[in-house]
Amino acid sequence: MVLTTDSKRWVKRLLTGSHAMSLAARFAPPAALILAYHSIHNHPDEYADTIGANNIHETSVFEKHMELVARNFSSVTLDEILLFLEGKRSLPPRAVAVTFDDGYRDNLEFAAPVLARYGIRGTFFVTVDYIGASKLPWFIRLRYAFWNTRLVSWRGPWSERTFKLESLEDRRCAFLAACEYGARRVGAAQEEVISGIEHELEIEPPAANEMMMTWDEVRKLHSAGHLIGSHTLTHPNMAFVGEQEARLEFQESKRRLEKELGVRVEHFSYPHPVLDPNWTDRTAAICREVGFVSGVTTVSAPVRRGQNPYSLPRLYTPRELSDFRWHLERSLFQRAQGRAHACDV
């Protein structure tokens, strides 16, 4: 029998509504779920050619998610999950932590008030070089360039093929190929590649327009009780850059965050700009050596005792509330490691 999307939703609603799954999860070993968000906006469509629709949750959708977390789960922080992994404390049943990547200003403007309403303390992973900077993250500049160029094809200086730029799908395909060049580089080398592609596409970079937080805004989140973590300096794929470059991204982002916030910064989130995997045993080892206590990934699975704290899985967050609830309920008793979810550019 083939189930339609509507009938699948109906079955999921029936199962989650009947408490059968929460009952089943009671017999599974203790677990925590870490949720991954990026941008929260009232009008996501306005940012389709910069942040990208897939990376944005509408504020009202996010509010419904948090209302469900507050009502049906126990919200915890990453610090509490680490203590659980170290065997120093137990977790409340159905523990859920909420995290955000990249450092968008909307996190303070739209997400933080919702979190405050439901008494949830989140963790915000910021990309240090873009905090208060005049330039936007490289993947936003690339999306803007490919979405807005007047050219109908592109053959970048580093590319082995010519990409059509006629339909939106063509542009997305070329954008993802170009992202591979940014993802493999850091700092000035990365900037050179991105500005080279903008030049090829005859596009000026978009105005920064307060899209990313300033240091004062990051400090406001911290003062409100949220944790701040590192999402590197320049958002490369850490598994695809050299050891010295990776070490600098870990070390320097930590040092600058600690200098700006005046507190220890202990949590790290691996960027996932195309290319798999986005972390390896080598990156996990450097993450530990430079003094972080955790590293979160984009592998969708629950956190259980025995999990390496430097490769903590995080759940993707489906927008539709019944899908979101199903995903959380099912994950509570999922045993196997999940697959990496969509990349974060």
Of 37, 40, 98, 101, which lies in the binding site for Zn ion, with binding defined by CB under 5 A?
101
312 with 34: CB under 8 angstroms?
A: yes
Is residue 102 at the binding interface for Zn ion, with CB under 5 A as the rule?
yes
Is residue 344 at the binding interface for Zn ion, with CB under 5 A as the rule?
yes
Taking the CA atoms of 229, 93, 305 and 238 in sequence, report the sign of the dihedral they define. negative
Question: Which ranges constitute the DSSP H helices of 184-318?
Answer: 187-200, 215-223, 243-261, 281-289
Relative orientation angle of helices 168-183 and 187-200, to the nearest 10 degrees: 150
Instruction: Quote the DSSP letter at residue 293.
Output: S
Nearer to Zn ion, 31 or 176 (CB): 176
Is residue 329 at the binding interface for Zn ion, with CB under 5 A as the rule?
no
What backbone phi and psi angles, to 5 degrees, belong to 147? Answer: -75, -25
* Euclidean distance between CA atoms 45 and 65, whole angstroms: 20
Q: Which residues pair with 99 in a beta bridge?
A: 36, 123
Stretch binding Zn ion (CB under 5 A), from 97-105, 147-155, 157-165, 317-325: 97-105
297 with 279: CB under 8 angstroms?
A: yes
CB of 127 to Zn ion, least distance (A): 7
Is residue 44 at the binding interface for Zn ion, with CB under 5 A as the rule?
no
Cβ-based neighbours of 291, under 8 Å, separated by 6 or more: 254, 266
For residue 277, whether the previous peptide bond is cis, meaning omega lies within 30 degrees of 0, is yes
Stretch binding Zn ion (CB under 5 A), from 40-48, 99-107, 160-168, 212-220: 99-107
Is residue 129 at the binding interface for Zn ion, with CB under 5 A as the rule?
no
The candidate with the shortest Cα–Cα distance to 266, out of 229, 303, 314, is: 229
The gap from C-alpha 217 to its chain's centroid, in whole angstroms, comes to 19
CB of 219 to Zn ion, least distance (A): 21
Instruction: Quote the DSSP letter at residue 132.
Output: T
Stretch binding Zn ion (CB under 5 A), from 55-63, 87-95, 102-110, 211-219: 102-110
Interaction mask 262-281, Zn ion, x per CB under 5 A? ---------x----------
CB of 322 to Zn ion, least distance (A): 27
Nearer to Zn ion, 62 or 125 (CB): 125
Nearer to Zn ion, 200 or 344 (CB): 344
At which residue do the structure tokens 């000035």 appear?
188
CB of 101 to Zn ion, least distance (A): 4
CB of 292 to Zn ion, least distance (A): 16
Per rule CB under 5 A, count of chain residues that contact Zn ion:
4
CB of 179 to Zn ion, least distance (A): 12
Nearer to Zn ion, 206 or 271 (CB): 271
Is residue 249 at the binding interface for Zn ion, with CB under 5 A as the rule?
no
Residues lying near Zn ion in the complex (CB under 5 A):
101-102, 271, 344
